[in-house]
Structure 1
Amino acid sequence: MKLKNNHIATFLLSFLLTFLCAIPSIAQTPNSTYTIEQGDWLSKISKKAYDSPHLYYRIIEGTNEKATSDASFLKINSANDIRIGQKIWIPGLPSPKNLTHVPKTDCEIRLWYNYQIVAVGVINEKWMQDGIDLETRAHKAYDLRHKARVNARFMMQDKEAVKTLQARDIKKYGNPDGPTFTYLLNKSMEGGQSQEVAYQTIIDSSSKTDTRYNADCQ
């Protein structure tokens, strides 16, 4: 009888494991957790969650923010820094409702700015399809972000805050309107990266936002 019971227990355990493996993964949707599975990568998850592979940086930012207060989340240092079984946070996107009029408040301007630079990744794909070379695409991506920064600061109502940002940029980059293309290129090549990799880094960074400033407008 004991042997028979062991067979039954083994069968039930096997059935349970099979059933659990057959359960589909939790949907990859905004404002939810997700556990990395075999074959996952962040741009793929971003595509499912946001219908855009270029918003993967928001998953990195969201997960890293969660990791500061929840030990079950691990900080993600780069897009390739994920592993099977790791829990990540897929944050929601800012509401586009403020895009129906000229932005006036700091949060509305930040939202406007974010949409300008998030589009860089999509526009870069079009440039690639048009056969534009890597160096030219890097310059064009930089220009889009740089102009968005300058225009956003122009729209800010608090001119003293603008002066503070410009003073910070002069101290950090030697330029009141943020880093120059040459600065970013040299910075990227400091670690021994090739010029081609540095160009791609500039393109990638041109479509990323800063979670420190976005947090106040979520």
Structure 2
Amino acid sequence: MNINAVHLETGADELERLALEECFKRMRHDHTVSVFVTPAGRCELAAKFARMGALVDVADHAECRQDIEGRILAAGCGAEIRFLGAALPEAAGQAVTEPYDIIFVRRGLCSVPYPEAKRIVRQLLQKLKIGGRIYLSILGLHSELGDGYSALDLPVGKRFGPLAPAIAQKYGISSDICLYTERDLFMLLLESGASVLRTMTTSYGSVKAVGGRT
């Protein structure tokens, strides 16, 4: 996925702000906060958590290890951030500092069909502390990505297919994906057993949500 798709998803990221605020509140009370971020990306978010004093696990494709570990060292967070060489769905089973206070998932759930996404979210919820928070960011059906999307008119449970060729080329997404509405993301959390604390749609059409483990 190229930088255009990342920009479409994140924008001025309200979800990251909410997650960092949650980390700050937990640091004030518990002084030890554990965080899981996948995919690691450029490690900017992980570094922000680490600089607040959190212990962070980041997960991404194994072939990204050298680049990501270099970024971790460059950020001065070598002692606070650990790299796990796995992407979703495998990453959901390889987190090692569980239970976590915060889990932050960007983009990865779009790469699997909805039933598989539910299985992954359930697995991640089991890695959260009771009262922990999960933050999900997913590419939206009503974003530019939905223009000519082959699965546009299918219900989310069956919605999995390629983007229109021009859109796929523009955003560097060649594989089949599942795009979500805000309601779809709400139901994903609810059907996975999470409490739904907040959902939102960005100006770029991406959808985001905060869930909790009760």
User: Shorter chain as normaliser: what TM range?
Assistant: under 0.3
Q: Which has the higher contact order (CA 8 A, sep 6+)?
A: 2
TM-score (norm 2): 0.22
Tell me which protein shows more helix as a share of its residues. 1
Structure exhibiting the larger radius of gyration computed from Cα positions: 1
Tell me which protein shows more strand as a share of its residues. 2
TM-score (norm 1): 0.22
